[in-house]
Amino acid sequence: MSSPPDSAIYIPDMQSLPSRVRTICCIGAGYVGGPTCSVIALKCPHIKVIIVDVNPLRIDAWNSEKLPVFEPGLDDVVRRCRGRNLFFSTDIDAGIREADLIFVSVNTPTKTSGVGKGFAADLHYVEACTRRIASVATSSKIIVEKSTVPCRTAASMRTILESNTSETEDGKQITFQILSNPEFLAEGTAIRDLYNPDRVLIGSLDTREGKMAAHALREVYENWVDGSKIYETGLWSSELSKLAANALLAQRISSINSLSAICEATGADVSEVAHACGLDARIGPKFLKASIGFGGSCFQKDILNLVYLSESLGLTEVAAYWHQVILMNEYQKSRFARKVVQTLFNTITMKKVAVLGFAFKKDTGDTREAPAITLCKSFRQEKAFISIYDPKVPREQILLDLTEPGVVDDFEAVRAQVTIAPSPEEACRDAEAVVICTEWDEFAQKAEDEWRGIYATMKKPAFVFDGRGVVDAQTLRKIGFRVHTVGKGPQIIDPIWA
Ligand SMILES: NC(=O)c1ccc[n+]([C@@H]2O[C@H](COP(=O)([O-])OP(=O)(O)OC[C@H]3O[C@@H](n4cnc5c(N)ncnc54)[C@H](O)[C@@H]3O)[C@@H](O)[C@H]2O)c1
Ligand SMILES: O=c1ccn([C@@H]2O[C@H](COP(=O)(O)OP(=O)(O)O[C@H]3O[C@H](CO)[C@@H](O)[C@H](O)[C@H]3O)[C@@H](O)[C@H]2O)c(=O)[nH]1
């Protein structure tokens, strides 16, 4: 450390922040870090992008022909940049040292033990990255929170970084600026969303250095995003906006799903109700598709996080309000599972149930919080035989998802009860019911003849439970199927009109 000059207040000589970004390191090569930083590499050929991860298998896969994440368009992006200005590596320290700007894009799951268990975000991966950056950085850097984090996480990161800063070789103290830049991509449309985002949010401290750092990140995005779509806010607003956006989106789904229950009981049609409501420009048509419930790694986790934040702030009513969105989602899943059992004469024991689709939505192989898991687990409890077909989810992943952790011999029990079919036709052969859990195009576009073929191989009466509203119920009924579609009740003829 350089010694302070005599009789003067010691002000360390600070190494200024990089004003232009030349090298980016992304810590976390997952569903967000991989696609996001691959697109940055594609759109910014003058920037070197290094994506690092602790998981060597994941990095190997990113460096192979079979990427660890299935996402339409992603293969092409990676093929065009990998080895040019895009690199995947397990050498986290080298990546940190080389970068001017570091994205922290690690997982922030819900805590499973300790204080806040079941609600709060587990921030230990974020903290581990922050400490690693502090201990190995040899130059000033811009640190960007890409992970979804609770409001004020940047303050903790800042404290850790400032308590551990070192000096450059020529004795200048290195500095860090933290930005919040939450990611809004949805899986299945990630590349499209990244090419053409509704907005890019950059939160910074309201200081000269904070604004400079935000400007440097803005310049990266301006290589392909119109400047008017880049919205700069304070750090805490940016962090909270991410949780708020997911809570508002999920709330719409729980709202329409709650209405789907009323539709089923009255004979109203939820797709007509959604369309009628969505025609109001103030409501809008998107995100009003009734389903067996929302899944995915984000909605539930982020709302639980918001609930925990509200509780911690003593805002009990606010916490209860948002918690209801999750409770409604649980209700929707269990309501659908109950409907299957009730319709099949109150028992599915020893019956074969075909499940079409296991991913939490179409165009992804991701099964995190997939409603199909809840449904299949409840069919398992009813002692049904389950045959599952999904075009993208690997067999081992499905078996793992259906195994109860910590239950002795459950893996073998799952294998005895669950089969993974190579096609929808195979899954449905000899089944008593078909349950559609994911809206894959191949189910929606199945021709009448193909359904006829499926019908011929099933036990009779043959039932279809459409949890996504994707099949043409009338055509299927014509073939002979008995069809239940979420949000569509039996036509009740009121005696007045009969
Ligand atoms: N999945 C989505 O669609 C999505 C969208 C927007 C935001 N987010 C948020 O982005 C974050 C990442 O989500 P994801 O789906 O990419 O998670 P993920 O689990 O797919 O990827 C996270 C990666 O981080 C790695 N990692 C963890 N700790 C590390 C460390 N200390 N050093 C190096 N690597 C480490 C893990 O090995 C893993 O590969 C989460 O906070 C999530 O809420 C996710
Ligand atoms: O009208 C709808 C829309 C969606 N869903 C379901 O909701 C879940 C989530 O879908 P979606 O939001 O499209 O996918 P995610 O990849 O989870 O993306 C959400 O979560 C991400 C992670 O935070 C955010 O970045 C995205 O903006 C946000 O849409 C899926 O199970 C969908 O099937 C419905 O049931 N009805």
Cis-peptide into 72, omega within 30 deg: no
302 CA: nearest ligand 2 atom: 23
Q: How far apart are CA 250 and CA 56, in angstroms?
A: 34
Residue nearest to atom 28 of ligand 2 (CA): 186
The pLDDT tens digits along the chain (498 residues) read 444 444 455 556 778 888 789 999 999 999 999 999 999 999 999 999 999 999 999 999 999 999 999 999 999 999 999 999 999 999 999 999 999 999 999 999 999 999 999 999 999 999 999 999 999 999 999 999 999 999 999 999 999 998 877 777 788 889 999 999 999 999 999 999 999 999 999 999 999 999 999 999 999 999 999 999 999 999 999 999 999 999 999 999 999 999 999 999 999 999 999 999 999 999 999 999 999 999 999 999 999 999 999 999 999 999 999 999 999 999 999 999 999 999 999 999 999 999 999 999 999 999 999 999 999 999 999 999 999 999 999 999 999 999 998 898 999 999 999 999 999 999 999 999 999 999 999 999 999 999 999 999 999 999 999 999 999 999 999 999 999 999 998 755 555 554
Q: What is the per-residue pLDDT for 11?
A: 59
Distance 466 CA to ligand 1 centre (A): 32
Q: How far apart are CA 91 and CA 100, in angstroms?
A: 16
Type of residue at 210: G
Residue nearest to atom 5 of ligand 2 (CA): 294
Type of residue at 168: T
What b/e string do you get for 409-420 counting C-beta neighbours within 10 Å, with b at 16 or more?
eeeeebeeebbb
Distance 250 CA to ligand 2 centre (A): 8
The single-letter DSSP state of residue 173 is B
CB 418 within 8 A of CB 398: yes
Predicted-complex ipTM score: 0.98
Residue 145: name the closest of 162, 136, 133, 135 by CA: 133
Q: Based on the number of CB atoms within 10 Å of its own CB, is 57 exposed (0-12), middle (13-18) or buried (19 or more)?
A: exposed
Distance 118 CA to ligand 1 centre (A): 19
Distance 104 CA to ligand 1 centre (A): 9
Which ligand lies nearest the alpha carbon of 149?
1
Q: Is the CB of 294 under 6 A from ligand 2?
A: yes
Phi and psi, residue 30, nearest 5°: -100, -155
pTM of the model: 0.95
Q: Which domains does the chain have, with CATH numbers?
A: 23-225 (3.40.50.720), 245-324 (1.10.1040.10), 326-485 (3.40.50.720)
250 CA: nearest ligand 2 atom: 7
Q: What is the per-residue pLDDT for 100?
A: 96
**What does the block give as tokens for 158?**
């800042």
Residue nearest to atom 23 of ligand 1 (CA): 28
Residue 96: name the closest of 59, 136, 56 by CA: 136
Q: How far apart are CA 19 and CA 141, in angstroms?
A: 10
Q: Which residues line ligand 1 (CB under 6 A)?
A: 27-33, 53-55, 58, 92, 105-108, 125, 128-129, 147-148, 183, 185, 187, 297-298
Instruction: List, in order, residues 6 or more apart from 307 with CB less than 8 Å away.
Output: 119, 319, 322, 323, 326
**What does the block give as tokens for 340?**
């299957």
As annotated, the active-site residues are 298
Q: What is the per-residue pLDDT for 402?
A: 97
What b/e string do you get for 196-219 counting C-beta neighbours within 10 Å, with b at 16 or more?
ebeebbbbbbeeebbebbbebbbe
